[in-house]
Amino acid sequence: MARLLAAILLACYPVWVAAVIETYQFSSDELEARYHSLSQELRCPKCQNQSIADSNAPISRDLRALLHRQLEAGSNDEEILDFMVERYGEFVRYRPAVDANTAPLWLAPPLLIALGGLGLIWHLRRQGAASETLSDAERERLRQQVDKEEQ
């Protein structure tokens, strides 16, 4: 029974899971690896929160075909990215070059982390200060209180 169940489960197991099913022939494994990394790196202009690797939009299909052609033609990564940026703008890269437009994108996260860190330090300092030993005046007042109680 267990064996039958296992067989059924195995038969249901999706052997091939991929966002986009396409076959490209690559002349070397290195090109194929670069194809995968670049197609993750490039953003689909039509469906903005997907890479061209994930997207089924016609423009992504075209860009993947173009990427394949360029890789096979021997372009290096920088040439390919420049080619895309020249046409679709920095938008097309998930890691755009730093310029006036993209500076907030790059600077905001470290700035926020720094701000949070400073806030945390300030908060901890204040807490530490509050629980520190008494000042001389307070010590004197405490002594007087204790003395009064003891009388």
Partner 1 sequence: MRRLRLFLPLAAFVLLAAVLYRGLSLDPTDLPSALIGRAVPAFELPDLDSGEPITEQDLRGQSALVNVWATWCYSCRVEHPYLLELADAGVPIFGLNYKDESAKAREWLADLGDPYTRTIADKEGALGLDLGVYGAPETYVVGANGTVLYRHVGVVDERVWRDILEPVYQAGSAR
User: Which residues are near partner 1 by CB under 8 A?
Assistant: 45-46, 48, 57-59, 62, 66, 85-89, 91
CB of 63: closest distance to partner 1 in angstroms? 9
Q: Which is nearer to partner 1, 32 or 46 (CB)?
A: 46
Q: Which is nearer to partner 1, 89 or 117 (CB)?
A: 89
Q: Which helix (H) or strand (E) holds 30?
A: helix 29-41
Spatial CA neighbour of 89 closest among 58, 51, 43: 43
Q: How far is the CB of 59 from partner 1 (least distance, A)?
A: 4
Radius of gyration, CA atoms only, the chain: 31
Instruction: Tell me the closest approach of the beta carbon of residue 4 to partner 1, in angstroms.
Output: 49
CA atoms within 13 A on the CB side of 70: 20
CB 44 within 8 A of CB 59: yes
* Residue 28 C-beta: closest distance to partner 1, Å: 26
Q: Which one, 86 or 132, has the nearer CB to partner 1?
A: 86
In the complex with partner 1, which residue's Cβ is closer, 107 or 146?
107
Query: Do 87 and 70 contact (CB within 8 A), yes or no?
Result: no
